[in-house]
């Protein structure tokens, strides 16, 4: 038990870390071996559609963010590209010349600062700072130019250090250890996923209601654990690959490119995953609440007989379907709005527009509203539920699907009949509580009526005593006597009170047994017949 709790806590902790790493920009920026990503992303481009909007972005050297520049959107990319090209030229000169002195100088006044790099005898301009580049309160332009110069010097010295054989050998060892850890972690995760797949619960329809609800809850929790392990496995591969790429200056730009490309898709994947997990956890919570209600009913003897027990099972299944549909719609809607906000769309007008459209749609779709209201009444009044056999108007069959808008029946020919809930006014439920087999048995007129009733009574009593049939018949059969005189013979009526949906099975078995009993007793069944009366008619002509 303790190991199971520890494993679940470990999985939840890793999932939380993954979520924070992918969504919290400050945390992502401070993670080791991962570069700081430009703030000039897709979200900013969509939200900042004005050309004079000031934005900030990083200037990179070997994939490392040296400093940030602020400028108008139309000019920022060009400016950063120019500075990075100048830094690349300085780096090449500095790395290809031994024993060369590097010096970053700045000159100007409080309105203008120019930075130049002196590499030996070569002087290369880096950038020009203006007051709009001040992005920290309390720091003047000259101080900021000095800080940027120091960062450029440290970045170039680090670039030279990272290209020494000793450093490359050390990073290669770290990369080999990281790759080994990735492979080992994925092997462990693969074994856990395989074990979890083998341990998945097979849902059984033949189990009693509390067992079915417990199976549903366990199945949904297993599914959450399965998806969490898959997400961890994907994160280990992607995160480990990015960390290994960040160990070497030659591949660090590739790391930055991959992070920039996959940043939005990974966030969308995590949103979809969280939505899926929340849906599954909600399903498990619904199953748990239904199980608690059902167990409480059994504990306090609310379920007095098998009929009410079966009816409770049907109603729980119907309510579970309804609430699962509502929960799924709610979480998917929230995830959709978060995803739109993640890619940079302003969802506030969308929400307001959705409200206005919903109001207009409600006026234009009154039948849909009637469907939903009538569907709620059908469900809460327990007129019928999924699994019942009903007759609605001229259609009848097994209720396969019931939601707030439609009812779907499967008739005896296998046709799926869809009926809007607003058109349902009268319903005949053939399986609510108990059912009745109403048999009308024709007997020929020249047979002995008392003998026929005696044989019918005896066969019915034998069926009631039969162990296989006894479980489906709730009360002793009732022979009502001669019901009617028909064209073919007189009609004897018989009632069997059965379990829901068992009336047709009992009727077929009784007819089979009665036919054999009538043959033994010599009681004929009526055949279609027609009598013709012939009379002689004398016609005398009048004189």
Burial class for 138, CB neighbours closer than 10 Å (0-12, 13-18, 19+): exposed
Supply the pLDDT for residue 43.
39
β-bridge mates for residue 402, sequence order: 407
- Rounded to 5 degrees, φ, ψ at 21 are -65, -35
Question: Alpha-carbon distance 64 to 68, whole Å?
Answer: 12
Q: Which is nearest to 41 in space by CA: 267, 370, 261, 218? A: 261
DSSP annotation of 447: S
- Rounded to 5 degrees, φ, ψ at 497 are -95, 115
CB 386 within 8 A of CB 429: no
* pTM tops 0.85, yes or no: no
β-bridge mates for residue 398, sequence order: 389, 410
CB 197 within 8 A of CB 223: no
Fold classification of 370-429 (topology level) = SH3 type barrels. (2.30.30)
Supply the pLDDT for residue 543.
43
CB 494 within 8 A of CB 456: yes
Alpha carbon 515 to its chain centroid, in Å, reads: 55
Question: Alpha-carbon distance 370 to 376, whole Å?
Answer: 10
Q: Domain ranges in the chain? A: 32-161, 194-354, 370-429, 435-521
Residues in contact with 298: Cβ distance below 8 Å, sequence separation at least 6, in sequence order: 210
Q: Which CATH class is domain 435-521?
A: alpha beta
Supply the pLDDT for residue 116.
84
Burial class for 488, CB neighbours closer than 10 Å (0-12, 13-18, 19+): middle
Question: Alpha-carbon distance 99 to 120, whole Å?
Answer: 9
Burial 390-401 (b: 16+ CB within 10 A, else e): bebeeeebbbee
| Adjacency order of strands within the sheet including 112-119 | 102-109, 112-119, 122-129
Supply the pLDDT for residue 455.
92
Helix (H) or strand (E) holding 364: helix 347-364
Supply the pLDDT for residue 71.
77
Supply the pLDDT for residue 44.
40
CB 207 within 8 A of CB 294: no
Write out the E strands in 342-423: 389-392, 395-402, 406-410, 416-420
Question: Alpha-carbon distance 332 to 334, whole Å?
Answer: 5
* pLDDT tens for the chain, residues 1 to 543: 334 444 444 444 444 444 444 443 333 333 444 555 454 443 343 344 444 567 778 888 887 888 888 777 778 888 888 888 888 888 888 887 766 677 888 787 777 888 888 877 778 888 888 777 666 556 777 888 888 888 888 888 888 888 888 888 998 899 899 899 989 988 998 888 888 777 665 555 555 566 667 777 778 888 888 888 888 888 888 888 888 888 888 888 888 888 888 888 888 888 888 888 888 888 888 888 777 766 665 545 444 455 555 666 666 777 777 788 888 888 888 888 888 877 767 767 766 666 666 666 655 567 777 888 888 888 777 788 888 889 998 888 888 888 888 899 998 888 999 999 888 888 888 877 788 888 999 998 888 899 999 999 999 998 888 877 877 888 888 898 898 888 888 999 999 988 888 888 889 999 999 999 998 988 888 877 666 777 665 555 544
Supply the pLDDT for residue 538.
58
Maximum Cα–Cα distance across the chain? 160
């Amino acid at each position: 038990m303790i190991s199971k709790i520890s494993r679940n806590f470990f999985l939840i902790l890793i999932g939380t870390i993954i979520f924070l790493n992918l969504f919290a920009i400050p945390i992502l920026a401070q993670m080791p071996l991962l570069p700081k990503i430009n703030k000039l992303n897709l979200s900013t481009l969509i939200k900042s559609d004005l050309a004079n909007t000031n934005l900030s972005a990083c200037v990179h050297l070997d994939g490392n963010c040296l400093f940030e520049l602020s400028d108008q959107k139309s000019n920022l990319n060009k400016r950063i590209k120019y500075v990075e090209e100048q830094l690349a030229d300085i780096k090449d000169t500095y790395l290809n010349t031994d024993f060369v002195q590097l010096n970053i100088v700045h000159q100007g006044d409080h309105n203008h600062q120019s930075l130049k790099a002196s590499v030996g005898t070569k002087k290369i301009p880096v950038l020009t700072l203006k007051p709009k580049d001040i992005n920290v309160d309390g720091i003047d332009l000259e101080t900021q130019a000095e800080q940027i110069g120091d960062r450029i010097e440290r970045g170039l010295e680090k670039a030279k250090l990272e290209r020494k054989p000793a450093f490359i050998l050390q990073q290669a060892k770290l990369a080999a250890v990281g790759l080994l850890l990735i492979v080992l972690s994925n092997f462990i995760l693969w074994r856990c996923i395989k074990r979890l797949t083998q341990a998945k619960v097979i849902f059984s329809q033949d189990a009693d209601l509390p067992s079915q609800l417990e199976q549903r809850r366990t199945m949904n929790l297993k599914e959450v654990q399965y998806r969490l392990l898959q997400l961890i496995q994907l994160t280990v591969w992607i995160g480990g690959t990015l960390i290994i790429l960040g160990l070497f200056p030659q591949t660090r730009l590739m790391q930055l490119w991959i992070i920039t490309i996959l940043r939005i898709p990974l966030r969308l994947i995590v949103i979809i995953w969280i939505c899926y997990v929340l849906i599954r956890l909600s399903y498990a919570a619904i199953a748990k609440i239904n199980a608690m209600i059902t167990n409480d009913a059994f504990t306090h003897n609310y379920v007095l007989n098998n009929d009410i027990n079966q009816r409770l099972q049907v109603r729980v299944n119907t309510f579970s379907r309804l609430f699962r549909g509502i929960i799924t719609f709610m979480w998917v809607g929230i995830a959709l709005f978060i995803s739109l906000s993640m890619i940079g769309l302003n969802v506030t007008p969308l929400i307001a527009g959705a409200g206005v459209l919903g109001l207009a749609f409600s006026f234009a779709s009154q039948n849909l509203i009637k469907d939903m209201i009538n569907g709620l009444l059908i469900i809460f009044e327990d007129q019928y539920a999924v699994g019942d056999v009903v007759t609605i108007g001229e259609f009848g069959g097994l209720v396969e699907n019931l939601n707030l808008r439609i009812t779907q029946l499967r008739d005896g020919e296998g046709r799926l009949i869809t009926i809007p809930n607003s058109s349902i006014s009268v319903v005949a439920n053939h399986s609510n509580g108990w059912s009745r087999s109403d048999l009308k048995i024709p007997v020929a007129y020249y047979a002995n009526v008392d003998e026929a009733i005696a044989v019918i009574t005896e066969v019915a009593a034998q069926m009631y005593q039969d162990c296989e049939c006894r479980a489906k018949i709730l009360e002793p059969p009732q022979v009502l006597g001669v019901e009617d005189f028909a064209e073919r013979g007189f009609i004897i009526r018989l009632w069997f009170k059965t379990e829901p949906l068992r009336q047709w099975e009992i009727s077929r078995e009784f007819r089979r047994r009665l036919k054999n009993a009538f043959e033994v007793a010599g009681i004929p069944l009526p055949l279609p017949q027609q009598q013709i009366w012939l009379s002689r008619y004398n016609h005398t002509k009048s004189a």
